[in-house]
Amino acid sequence: MKWQWITAAVAAFALAFLTLPLFPENLTATPSAPWLAADAVSEAACDANARPANLDFTLQDMNGDTVELASFKGKVILLNFWATWCGPCKVEIPEFVELQNEYGDDGLVVLGLSIDDPVEKLKPFADEYEVNYPLLVGLGRHDVREAFGPIWGIPVTVYIDRNGILCKRHMGLATKERVERDIRAML
């Protein structure tokens, strides 16, 4: 019985460790993470390594409609790579719904690109989470992932400014405060 508790504790520690930011661009000083230095936060709208985003992709949404990424140029695009089975993704999606409600009229468009779910799973998921933004079918679309990657895991959120510049990428779970701050800097 003692070994079961030790194993559970090690597993919990490993899970906690894996959810910590692995890349410097993920560091933010928030009330929930006061140990991070304030100077690790960049207030610039775009990272120093910003580059033009490849928006020359046509995808299908969960309703079978054709969506051209280039049609969103002129708006701030929050492109989220996710899946229905992804726990951190399920935490972020309600926050994206709120952000789309709050900033949609200001020029924000949230796009969710499901990396490996068929349409049959997307519709019930969208209903359950009351998703108010386009859910795109990314199953088999490695070309899209490569264009915005590398995508080593999910969730990954890509920020594209009104001029079509890929300004930021966030790998892993992002707080609503972090996403909102980055969006407002771009609007």
Q: Residue 104 is part of which domain span?
A: 42-186
69: Cβ contacts below 8 Å, ≥ 6 apart: 55, 56, 57, 58, 59, 77, 111
Q: What is residue 32's predicted lDDT score, i.e. its pLDDT? A: 42
Q: Tell me, yes or no, whether 13 lies in a domain.
A: no
Which of 135, 80, 78 has its CA nearest to residue 108? 78
167 labelled catalytic: no
Q: How far is CA 26 from CA 110, 117, 128, in A?
A: 20, 26, 29
Which of 176, 115, 119, 181 has its CA nearest to residue 150? 115
Q: Which residues pair with 168 in a beta bridge?
A: 159
Catalytic-labelled residue, pool 53, 76, 79, 86:
86
Q: Tell me, yes or no, whether 127 lies in a domain.
A: yes
Q: What sign does the dihedral 65-71-77-79 (CA atoms) show?
A: positive
Q: What is residue 150's predicted lDDT score, i.e. its pLDDT? A: 83
46 labelled catalytic: no
Sequential pLDDT tens for the chain (187 residues): 565 555 544 444 444 444 444 433 443 333 444 333 333 334 567 888 888 999 999 999 999 999 999 999 999 999 999 999 999 999 999 999 999 999 999 999 999 999 999 999 999 999 999 999 999 999 888 898 888 888 889 999 999 999 999 999 999 998 999 999 999 999 9
What total of structural domains would you count in the chain? 1
Q: What is residue 91's predicted lDDT score, i.e. its pLDDT? A: 95
Catalytic-labelled residue, pool 46, 67, 79, 89:
89
pTM: 0.75
State how far the Cα of 52 lies from the Cα of 34, in Å rounded to an integer.
34
Cβ atoms of 167 and 47 closer than 8 Å = yes
CATH number of the domain within which 139 lies:
3.40.30.10
Q: What is residue 45's predicted lDDT score, i.e. its pLDDT? A: 78
Q: What is residue 2's predicted lDDT score, i.e. its pLDDT? A: 61
Q: What is residue 7's predicted lDDT score, i.e. its pLDDT? A: 52
Q: Tell me, yes or no, whether 175 lies in a domain.
A: yes
What is the Cβ-side half-sphere exposure of residue 98, based on CA atoms within 13 angstroms? 10
Q: Tell me, yes or no, whether 53 lies in a domain.
A: yes
